[in-house]
Amino acid sequence: MKSTFIVENIEQALLPEQWIMLASLSMNDLNWQHTIINNHQIVGRTKVGMFTTGEQVSFTVHENSGTIESASMQWNPFSGKRNQKNIQVLQEYMRLNRKIYSPEQLSELFRSYFSHNKANYSDHIVLTKGNFIGTYSLIAINVLVFIAMVASGVSFTEPNVMDIYHWGGNIRIYTLGGEWWRVITSNFVHIGFVHLFLNMYALFFVGRYLEPIINKWLMIILYLCTGIFASLVSIWWTGSRISAGASGAIFGLYGTFIALLTTNLIDSRIRFALLQSFLIFVVYSLFSGMQPGIDNAAHLGGLLSGALFGYCFYAMQSLWRPFVITGIVVMFCTLSLATFYLVTHRTYKAQMIELLSRFSDYESKALNVRKGRAFKSVNVRIAEMNNIAAPSWHACSLIVDSVDKLPLDTLLSKQKINLMRQYIKARIEENKLMIDADKNNRANTDALDSVRAIIHDQLTTIEALRY
């Protein structure tokens, strides 16, 4: 919301720069952080806190008039009254200061201001109010995905692991197994409404500051690229746990903005208060993320990559079309690293898939000899168990040993490998008991029942560990 007041027929005895300095002195008295853009415009900001962005107040001198505008940087039910109050109080202080300072004093102060601020305002960026199309587009996509999830039957408050998996959650064994797109989709999938709401508020908060600096397209590119980095760090650090949510990408945007706040791209009278506020928020969020169930690895991955991209953007300011060049550099670095990581790790994963496929073939071959046992002679049954089943189970045992040697500790857990070993051992014991039963024409029923109970329990446990 914005309020505007036009000062008609301003005092002709004052030059434009004298009016601007008069507004600057008044904003100083009000403890408003501000920056003189040129000799016709000044932009200030009221108090900034962790949960409030304050209002942006500008004073612009025209040929025969001046315009005071106050605009809220975020929605607030009282923003209209606060904007009007800002305009009124600035007018009052300007009237008081007009009685104190002469035109000559104002001109001298204006010249002194720029002599102490060697960098012209064109070297800085001021945080201005805009349309925030990039921020609102990202929020809309996240909300629409959640609505689609709920419409398909996913729980509004507590989606289960399989729901998150089917909608594109990031889980190492599948992401590295060829489903690379999960490093992107997981940044738009949320685990319940509260998760969505908190992330979207954080995205809205940082977007209102960052997007006016980097523009809508770079905002979207940074969200996607830092989200990819966050997903890669997550599967590298957390292993087989499934993760989802926009927080990694949002931390990336916070990292970018914090990086820019440490440069002179944003005027010092604005950036120090904002830097303090954003650092407190990020540190608090990281400490809160240490509790179980929160993917802090993704948060750190997004934060660090975002900071790197922020400094990259700052370094590109002197180049032709810095927004375009930064976008290209960011996408190239992200895609190169992501491709390298996914391809190199997929080599091990492909080996594992091939070995497990062979395991399944040998297992089926060993179990198929049991079909039609009642119609086979004893000698045929013994021959098949000795010449087909026994070698097949032995081959399965060797395959499990081969899988265990791959660097896949988090892709296929040690627990599951040990269970598979026990399963093969039980199958080999079962095969021996069946051969003895055929040879002696008498089955050791108790021993067979005991072994088969073990096999059943192991299969059930292995299936439970599937995800």
Active site residues: 247, 299
Q: What share of the chain is helix, strand, coil (3-state, %, to 5)?
A: 65, 10, 25
Q: For the chain, how far is it from start to end, CA to CA, in angstroms?
A: 49
Rounded to whole angstroms, the Cα distance separating 200 from 53 reads: 16
Torsion angles phi and psi, residue 202, rounded to 5 = -65, -40
Q: Helix, strand, or coil here: 36?
A: strand
Residue 316 identity (one-letter amino acid) = M
* Contact predicate 302/255, CB 8 Å: yes
Rounded to whole angstroms, the Cα distance separating 244 from 2 reads: 37
Q: Counting beta carbons within 10 angstroms of the beta carbon of residue 322, is it exposed (0 to 12), middle (13 to 18) or buried (19 or more)?
A: middle
| C-alpha of 336 from chain center | 19
* Contact predicate 45/55, CB 8 Å: yes
Contact residues for 272 (Cβ-Cβ < 8 A; gap 6+): none
Handedness of CA 135, 137, 140, 142 (dihedral sign): negative
Bridge partners (DSSP) of residue 58 are: 43, 69
Q: How far is CA 290 from CA 234, 269, 283, 286, 287, in A?
A: 14, 34, 11, 7, 6
| C-alpha of 210 from chain center | 16
* Other Cβ atoms within 10 Å of 357 Cβ, number: 10
**Length, in residues, of the chain:** 467
Per DSSP, the residues of 56-95 read: EEEEEE-SSEEEEEEEESS--TTHHHHHHHHHHHHHHHHH
Bridge partners (DSSP) of residue 170 are: 243
Instruction: Please name the helix (run of DSSP H) or strand (run of DSSP E) that holds residue 55, with its range, or none.
Output: strand 55-61
Closest among 254, 310, 304, 294 to 278, alpha carbons compared: 254
Q: Helix, strand, or coil here: 283?
A: helix
